[in-house]
Amino acid sequence: MPTDLDQATGLERLEILGKMQGVDVFDMKPLDSSRKGTLDDPIIVKSFGDEQYAGCTGYPVDSHVTIWLTMSRDRPVERCPECGNVLKMEYVGPQEDAHNHHHEHHEDGHHNHEEPKTFADFECRIVEREVDISSLFSTTHARDFITLKVGL
């Protein structure tokens, strides 16, 4: 009777051979959830491919529903729009891409399309400023007492 190893091919065989040697070839251990990633110190997500998906459940853990973030070799940093957690893809695959001939690039190596902006492209700063909105009110009494603080 053949074993799983005898019958397995491709990625399944790679996984079985890795387990036999004590290696987790797909790096299935959970991401670091003991801290919140920042732009200066992001949570590292290793990837053998050009693109990697990671689910953020917030910090502290499970503080919001899972939000799936997409990182790529071209855009390795991604920020969760819900909690601000920052993840960074670290490419650990082969340096030469045998399939690279399928992509159309400019002379400078970039794609022919512009990547959309994401939450990671913006740094949020809260600035408090006092704004006088008394001119919006018609009565003198209301004008005397209204000042609004807004976060920009």
Q: How far apart are CA 58 and CA 77, in angstroms?
A: 16
Would the annotation count 80 as a binding residue?
A: yes
Would the annotation count 124 as a binding residue?
A: no
Q: CA nearest 73: which of 90, 97, 53, 56?
A: 90
* 3 state DSSP class of 77: strand
Would the annotation count 64 as a binding residue?
A: yes
Enumerate residues 6+ apart whose C-beta is below 8 A from 65.
Answer: 57
In the chain, where does DSSP find H-type helix?
Answer: 4-7, 10-20, 140-145
Q: Which residues are annotated as a binding site?
A: 56, 64, 80, 83
Known binding site for Zn(2+): residues? 56, 64, 80, 83
